Each structure stands twice: as C-alpha cells, then as structure tokens.
Amino acid sequence: MCVKTAVSLPDDLYERAEQAAQQLGVNRSQFYARALTKYLHDLGSDPVTDRLNELAAEHAKERTAAQSSAAARSMIDSGGWQW
C-alpha cells in the first residue's frame, strides 16, 4: 500500500536527488522512500530505548562513580557480562 504525497524542495536538492536516483537505478519514489527510511532509522527515536536511557540516568544519579565502577567490576568478575 502506498500513499502519494507532494513536497517542496529547493531546486538544487531536487536535481541532486534526481541524479542520485538515476545513478542508483531506482525511480524517484524508491529513492525518496529509501532516503526517508534511512533518515528515520538514524534518528533512533525509539520510545522504549528512550525510557530505558532515562531510567539509567536516574539510577546513575543515585550512585557515586565508585559505586558504579564496583558494580560493573563485580558483574565482569562474576562472568555475568560477556564482552
């Protein structure tokens, strides 16, 4: 299922995209779909990961650097962490 959309681009960007699509041997729609997919992936906006990062940051505030290092060392020494 596809949705048609219209976007406005500066002329130079449009020309560069047209040339790149031609070089890649894909049509305009495929080129823009791939570019948008990559851009969204690179944003890395994953609500679960974002929340886990927030929780880790909150937890880190509760521990001193020495406590965090000791916990990490204990985990490594116990074999609970694989490198």
pLDDT value of residue 80: 60
Domain count, the chain: 2
User: Which residue range(s) make up the domain with 29?
Assistant: 11-43
Indicate whether 5 belongs to any domain.
no
Does residue 82 or residue 7 have the better pLDDT? 7
pLDDT value of residue 83: 52
Residues 52 and 73 occupy one common structural domain: yes
Tokens (6 digits) for 24: 């890649």
Residues 35 and 54 occupy one common structural domain: no
Indicate whether 2 belongs to any domain.
no
Could you report the per-residue pLDDT of 15-65, keeping only the tens digit for each?
Answer: 999 999 999 999 999 999 999 999 988 887 677 877 777 877 877 776 676
Indicate whether 83 belongs to any domain.
no
pLDDT value of residue 35: 95
Residues 39 and 56 occupy one common structural domain: no
Q: Which amino acid is at 29?
A: S
Q: Nearest CA to 32 among 2, 75, 63?
A: 2
Tokens (6 digits) for 36: 């948008």
Indicate whether 4 belongs to any domain.
no
